[in-house]
Structure 1
Amino acid sequence: MSGSAEPSLSDMLRESAHDFLSGSHAPSRLRGWIGRPRPVERSLWKDIAALGWTAVMLPEELGGSGLGLREACALSEVMGERLFAEPFTACCVLPSVLLAAAEPRAENGSAELAEWLVNGTRLLALAWQEQVAEIEPAALPACRVEEGVLSGRKQFVIGCESDSVLLVSASLDGQPAVFAVAADAAGVHIERFASGIGAQAHVTFDSAPLLFAEPLHSGAKASEVILQALAAGRVSLAAELAGKATGCLRQTVEYVTERQQFARPIGSFQTVQHRCVDMHIEYLLATAAWRHALSCYEQNPLVAATQAAISAAKSRCAEAAVMIGKQAVQLHGAMGFAEEVDIGMYLRSALADSAWLGSPLAHRRRFATLGAEQGEAQQLDPDPAHRSASSDPRDWSDEEFRARLRMFLEEHYPANLRQNDRRPFLRLRGDDLNGWLSLLNDHGWRAPAWPREFGGMGISFRKQLIYQQEMERAGVGRIIDNGETQLGPTLMKWGTPEQQAYYLPRILACDDVWCQGYSEPGAGSDLASLRTQAVREGDEFVVSGQKIWTTHATDGTHIFTLVRTGKFEKKQQGISFLLIDLNAPGVSIRPIANIAGEDEFCEVFFDSVRVPASNLVGELHQGWSVAKALLGHERIWLGSAAMASSALELAQRLVTNMDLGDDAGVLDRLGRLQADLHDYRLLYAQMCDHIAEAHGEPGPEASVLKVYISELLQRITEFNAEIAAEYGGVVGDVQIGDLHTDLHWPLMMARPVSIYAGANEVQRDILAKLVLKLPSPPRAG
């Protein structure tokens, strides 16, 4: 008996947080504070202390809940969504890391500080920043402790109330240390100012007395703990920003769905729908980024790979929340400019959180410095003695799977077919493609996503991602195999046992090479308008009509196609899914040269072609359902980051060879592209996991992948051509230093990626209707 998984502790915390904040915290209480520093609402702070939120990360021996950053982020995400304005990250997450790592001694006050945090009686606030735009704490702070008093200045401190306790980084005898100082002590001067929907402060210490005689931390430990606290705070803040993006987007979708203009909901206008879809994509990227950063933090918070992931998440979540806030104001019209609705507060809050603990620009630069691919340089164990005795890759660990595949590729993939600077988007075709796929099949490396019972590898989505990564790493040419990626999964769901038994082995052996016949002249993305006819005559269909933009039809032996078999009220009805042999009498193919000089597209003509009725897949007239499922699989395949990765590797070479390594503008643009690809890979992996949970059936959300990666690929290839100066206008090979490449070919080949398999505008329409549930445009006539 199967059932849904038990909810995690994080899920339960999210649910309880929503319940509490929906009943106890209305954003309306935040209005009227523009330009004035709003104080912490103490009664509300006491309430969340009673719930255990203030000490959620504090160890049980200090009176806390003994939970971790994952549970804290569950709370901060909901707080962002509900526009909760109290300083949870600043006054709970950051201090908890410092207290949890402190040696419990009466002289350093750790127990008393923990009690204040648990009970919510006094706010604890970390004061570490000394310079504007400071992202890494100073090795030796300028604030100093001499003869038991503190002098210096800290900036942008959150949670600095009159009775707060400040945890201050300072120098003591030439070593870093962390001391507790009462905010109301003599010699403490606080300059509070409005920030977002709360307040920050600059604090000057003029021989201020210490609250406890000894520091919480000193020496190298002090520096390490502050770094860890900032890491935790940035992940929590990223989750809160993603929550703000969620809440703002939800309110905007509700508003445009209800708001009428020109006698129709404004959410039915395509421009509005596409803006909402782009907001939704940014939210998805942000969520994937902070959840990945959280997982990295839980493994090791201070290694470079984790710090890079955290910077990527802070940057992405900040920009997503600000972008969604700005778009929300626009879509709300004049109402968005009024304080009596929440949208403006979402934007103000996002702007403040975006800047705190490091701006998006600073974190993108930090991400680029730490290395965009820190997490993928695995050291593999080459010793066969350490491997599993099983020949089934499902039994291997992920590390062993990667090592075995890498060794196979190094040994068997032809060197003359590797992608390189000259051929960054190399596509395998004809005999090269079929020879490589047959070799994979012979060695058991074919069809990683297919179940074992159908001849595939049957491996997990995690191993499938490793499979893609290693193919990329080895420079394997791009593979267009419609039989494996599209038709195979379709036959597994819709085909008869006889069709499965006949066609699936032939796909794996490359006996049949398939192309897709969907688009027609005048019916590109509008598949419901197709006109190719299939008339039933006995045990055959007679097919007449034309398909266009059929990729690699000249290399194929068969085509799976949509044909009209009947006329019904709805255009989507009366369409059937048919398998046709391209060598059948009456089939002719004409190649079409594209703007890159390739002949990969073709027209396919059917002149009374006779097709066995047994080649019908699914029910007669129900091909639309089959086609939609197939397109979902296609968009997952098109969502691969392989082409964008190759283009970005070329970008890095170009920056070096064009002597642009000191150009801050170019490096910032390159850093953004690196971060975009990094975050996209996380989203791709996350969505593949969701598909696995849904038993392999991609939903309409898969259109997000196709939209984002195609436009990212175009941005990268355009960047390459632009920074190459005059070389960017050359058609054909160029030599730039030791780099021999062709910039024009990938630039042109990137253009149709946002068109085929359904233009991105159509994909945005799908997402608006099926994911965001926005109202449909009125029918013409």
Structure 2
Amino acid sequence: MSEEDDRMSDDDRMIEEAAAAYCARDPEYKRVRGLRGATPSFDRQAWNEMASMGWVGCRIASTCGGSQLNFRQLALILEQYGRSLAPEPLVAVGVLAAGVLAHSLNDANKQWLQRLAAGTWLPTLAWQELGAEPHSVEPIATRVEARNGGYVLHGRKRFVPIAESADAFLVSARGIDGCGLYLVDREAAGVTVTPHLRVDGGTWSDVALQDVPLGTEALIANGPQALESLELALDEARLAAGAELVGLMSGVFDMTVEYMKVRRQFDRPIGSFQALQHRAVDLYMQVEVSRAVLHQTTAVFDASTDPRRRALAASQLKARASDAALQVAKGAVHIYGGMGYTDECNVGLFLKRAMVLAAWLGNATVHRRRYGRLVDADPNAQEADADEVRTPLQQEARAFAESHFPPEWRFPPYRINLVKARPWLRKLYQKGWGAPNWPTEYGGMGLSAHDQVRLQEEFDRYGIFLTPNAALNMLGPLLIRYGTDSQRKKYLPKILSGEMLWAQGYSEPGAGSDVAAARTTAVLEGNEFVVNGQKIWTSDADHYEGTFILVRTDPHAKKHEGLSILLVDLQTPGITVRPIVNLCGETSFCEMFFDNVRVPKENLVGEMNRAWPMAKSVLGTERIMIGHPKLARYPLELLGRLLRSRGLWNEPVARTRFEKLRLDVLDLGAAFVRVVNVLEGGGEVGPEVSILKIWISETFQRIADMMLDIGGESAVLDEQEPLADGTSIHVAKQYFLARPAAIYAGTNDIQRNIVAKAVLGLPQ
């Protein structure tokens, strides 16, 4: 997904281009290497240049001399900054320290902010302590007491950035009134700095404070305001660090892909080896999903000042970016081989910086746990959906489901067949909600991608779990784009109402994911096609009314040519449907046999012999819908219910696994919205859409794997297990159901091949 997909304003684009140009001045990373282990570990001249460009004062109000960029613009700069591995403390000073001062703003602080924005004064925040709960803002060991009309400070802080070259420390300390923030001069009596060299060549320091005397003017904030200022500034810094990590992983990934194209082994580029191609696609998915979460997070921060919403968004991003950056950097070292393990290879610089940034301000595990605690404190806060902030559409959806969806179908142990769900589909149609993604002129809701996801979330929360609707998700969009007026008038209302359910007829025996290898023939005789052949994996065709099939209408054309799409009534003479029993013991799979089946010519969709572009469009639409986070969201809900029922909700190991899966699903939601937004803007989504399908299907499988693990002996019983909340679960069926998720709509292995060649440009 390109940057154009995000509809940047002209101002945003100018900021990004300027940042890219500035950060590209050290393409061989010689400056970065030269500053490793130096004191200071950054370039003062570069810092002054950044100040003159407004970067240092990026989050400072213009009234205090800052440039006051929004968070989206800040992220655009920091993505480029991360690619360059620049060692200057832009986040530590320009976001974190500046944020503490800005959120504690008083008349005295304005002068400090002006000097900070100008680049002439470098403060750094000292807030972490030995013995304190990791990343808690509550100081324990560092204390302050009133003495001689001022204060005396004593304690010890850890992991303080640029402490050896800072001008002052912003120190959190506990006093009679609770937490306070104090400004301490670097040269004050009783201050001792002990630097510790990081793996990337920078430093974090211990700062010992032994009876440090302070005047009353040193107090920046006290009590609840001090804690609030710390929390707000830390979450802004976590967003900024996440943006830098996204840039870092993007930079090392691009470098690695180029290396794969030119490095040769066994007389061919290593990028042509399928194993390495698949590894590269997995790294690409990490980059793209992380970037989507970053864009979602900046939107939250720019739209809301609610601390809880920001905390959730910041932890979601920091968890994703920290984990992904390490995966991408480690993967790059592996692909570079032995050279990647040498210090002279630049990928090692990226790995070391990723290690530092991933750990700073809380690593992935810390923020997954924090996210879980925030949700537990207020379950509605997970998506900021407390009643007072739920959108009118969401409120209406909740009320509608409460009134019309059968209570006995809520949270079923296995998804409900569409034939059984026809009454619900009819009610949605009557409401005008049959197709959230269709244009309104064809009976759809015309919702934005964001609203589509939010509507589905409401239905998910109510426990609505239906089998996928191929007619709604694939055939409808196909007819809207390529069908005739008469076809649209005849079929679209019946699709919306559930009156006519359709099976997809693409796959054939022996062809698998090679859809273009279709051998089912259709010969035009007068005003009818005569169809002969076989289709397989046509879900629920034994219960549905129609099928849309890919047929070969020109047997002499090339493989991807001479194909057509026909609409076929399954009651037509000559059709035999044979159900296939799957691992669940269900007959959802079918194979269809066509023996001289006569189909009216008017049932041809689009042009004859020109179906391949349409078929690809349908497959793309299918992968978008299969890539919808709802595929895994409902099983995740069942897993949570199973953990609570077994008394494992607060067991650390199980909860850590669950939180990782929960954020995997939520992060995919950000990428899904981003893809659909491209379509809504009139753009074309290319083969990169396959990452949605790969990500969510494999997440679904990991969820099912955990269900089986937690379930133990009960999980292998072929029966429903009652849960403590009155619902039930059939773990084995969920486990079986997850298996084909990575197979249908083109196996994930084939999708990785497509992305490797069509998106990454790796050699054949």
Measured against the shorter chain, the TM-score band is over 0.9
Label 1:334 to 1:145 Cα distance change in 2 as closer, same or farther (>3 A): farther
For 2:25, which of 2, 23, 26 is the aligned residue?
Answer: 23
Alpha-carbon distance, 1:555 to partner: 1.4
Residue 49 (structure 1) aligns with: 51
Task: Answer yes or no: is 1:750 the counterpart of 2:734.
Answer: no
Report what 1:404 is aligned to: 396
The alignment status of 1:131 with 2:133, answered yes or no, reads no
Identify the match of residue 349 of structure 2 among 345, 351, 356.
345
Partner of 1:723: 710
CA distance in 2, matches of 1:209, 1:10: 46
**Residue aligning to 1:175:** 178
Instruction: Look up the equivalent residue of 1:691 and give its one-letter code.
Output: L
- How far apart in 2 are the matches of 1:419 and 1:426? 10
Q: Which residue, out of 393, 410, 432, partners 1:419?
A: 410
CA shift at 1:37, angstroms?
6.9
Aligned mate of 1:59, from 58, 61, 74: 61
Partner of 2:695: 708
The question of whether the paired residues in 2 share the 8 Å contact of 1:140 and 1:174 is answered with no
Q: 1:222 to 1:380 in 2, by over 3 A?
A: closer
Q: Deviations over 1:250-286 (max 9, x none)?
A: 1111111222222222112111111111111111222
Instruction: Label 1:377 to 1:64 Cα distance change in 2 as closer, same or farther (>3 A).
Output: closer
Match of 2:616 among 612, 628, 634: 628
C-alpha displacement of 1:645:
2.0
Residues 652-661 or 521-530, more deviating: 652-661
Map of 2:469 onto structure 1: 481
Change (3 A) 1:453 1:69: closer
CA separation in 2, counterparts of 1:6 and 1:716? 36
One-letter amino acid of the counterpart of residue 208, structure 1: V
Equivalent residue letter for 1:55: G
| Inter-partner Cα distance in structure 1 for 2:636 and 2:214 | 52
Map of 2:157 onto structure 1: 154
Q: Quick one: which amino acid aligns to residue 137 of structure 1?
A: V
Q: Which range moves more in the overlay, 561-570 or 225-234?
A: 561-570
CA distance in 2, matches of 1:591, 1:415: 30
Deviates more, 1:576-585 or 1:681-690: 681-690
Distance 1:492 1:613 in 2: 19
The Cα of 1:9 is off from its aligned counterpart by 3.4
Summarize the Cα distance change of 1:444–1:732 in structure 2 as closer, same or farther, 3 Å threshold.
Answer: same
Tell me which amino acid in the other structure corresponds to 1:500: R
Identify the residue that residue 612 of structure 1 maps to in structure 2: 600
Alpha-carbon separation, structure 2, partners of 1:170 and 1:745: 55
| 1:663–1:524 distance in 2 versus 1, CA, 3 Å | same
Please give the alpha-carbon distance, in whole angstroms, between the structure 2 residues aligned to 1:161 and 1:312: 32
* Cα pair distance change 1:170/1:755, threshold 3 Å: same
Which residue in 2 is equivalent to 1:530?
518
Show CA shifts across 1:356-393 (max 9, x none). Answer: 11121111111111117624463558xxxxxxxxxxxx
Aligned residue in 2 for 1:374: 381
Matches within 5 A, 1:231-380: 231-301=235-305, 303-371=307-375, 374-376=381-383, 378-380=385-387
Give 1:128 deviation, angstroms. 0.8
Q: SS of the residue aligned with 1:410?
A: helix
Name the counterpart of 1:388. Answer: none
Q: 1: distance between equivalents of 2:368 and 2:7?
A: 37
Q: Assess, with a 3 A threshold, how the Cα gap between structure 1 residues 300 and 439 changes in structure 2: closer, same or farther.
A: closer
Q: 1:143 to 1:111 in 2, by over 3 A?
A: same
- Is contact 2:245–2:325 with CA below 8 Å preserved after alignment? yes
1:498 Cα deviation (Å)?
2.8
Partner of 2:93: 91
Aligned-partner Cα distance in 1 for 2:301–2:439: 34
Question: Judging changes above 3 Å, is the alpha-carbon distance between structure 1 residues 4 and 170 closer, same or farther for their aligned structure 2 residues?
Answer: closer
SS at match of 2:447: coil
Residues 1:543 and 2:531 aligned together = yes
Query: Which residue identity lines up with residue 193 of structure 1 in the other structure?
Result: H
Matched letter for residue 582 of structure 2: N
1:558 and 1:187, CA in 2 relative to 1: closer, same or farther beyond 3 A? Answer: same
Q: Is the 8 A contact 1:143 1:153 kept in 2?
A: no
Residues 643-699 of structure 1 show CA distances to partners (whole Å, capped at 9, x for unaligned) of 42222222222222222245321111112112212222222222222221235x543
Deviations 1:567-618 (A, max 9, x none): 4564111221122221112110100000000000001001111222222212
Question: SS in structure 2 opposite 1:20?
Answer: helix
Cross-structure match for 2:116: 117
Instruction: From the superposition, tell whether residues 4 and 447 of structure 1 become closer, same or farther in structure 2 (CA, over 3 Å).
Output: closer
Report the CA distance shift for 1:555/1:715 in structure 2 as closer, same or farther (over 3 A).
same
The 1-side partners of 2:8 and 2:248 are apart by: 27
Farther-moved stretch of structure 1 (489-498 vs 581-590): 489-498
Contact 1:733-1:740 within 8 A present in 2 as well: yes
- Residues 425 and 646, structure 1, Cα contact 8 Å, conserved in 2: no
Q: What is the match of residue 678 of structure 1?
A: 666
Gapped regions of structure 2 (runs ≥ 5): none
Q: SS where residue 561 of structure 2 aligns?
A: coil
- Does the C-alpha gap of structure 1 residues 75 and 501 become closer, same or farther in structure 2, counting only changes over 3 Å? same
SS of equivalent to 1:499: helix
Shift of residue 197 of structure 1?
A: 4.1
Q: Which moved more, 1:556-565 or 1:4-13?
A: 4-13
Counterpart secondary structure, 2:551: strand
The match for 1:204 among 194, 202, 208 is: 208
What's the secondary structure of 1:772's corresponding residue? coil
Q: Give 1:201 shift.
A: 1.0
d(CA) in 2 for partners of 1:154, 1:190: 10
Amino acid in structure 2 at the alignment position of 1:547: K
CA deviation string 1:269-313 (max 9, x = no partner):
111111111111111222222333333334445633321221121
Distance 2:38 2:708 in 1: 48
Residues 602 and 344 of structure 1: CA distance in aligned 2, closer, same or farther (over 3 Å): same
Output the CA distance in 2 between the equivalents of 1:712 and 1:587: 37
The 8 Å contact of residues 525 and 762 in structure 1, kept in 2 or not, is answered as yes
* CA shift for structure 1 position 752: 0.7
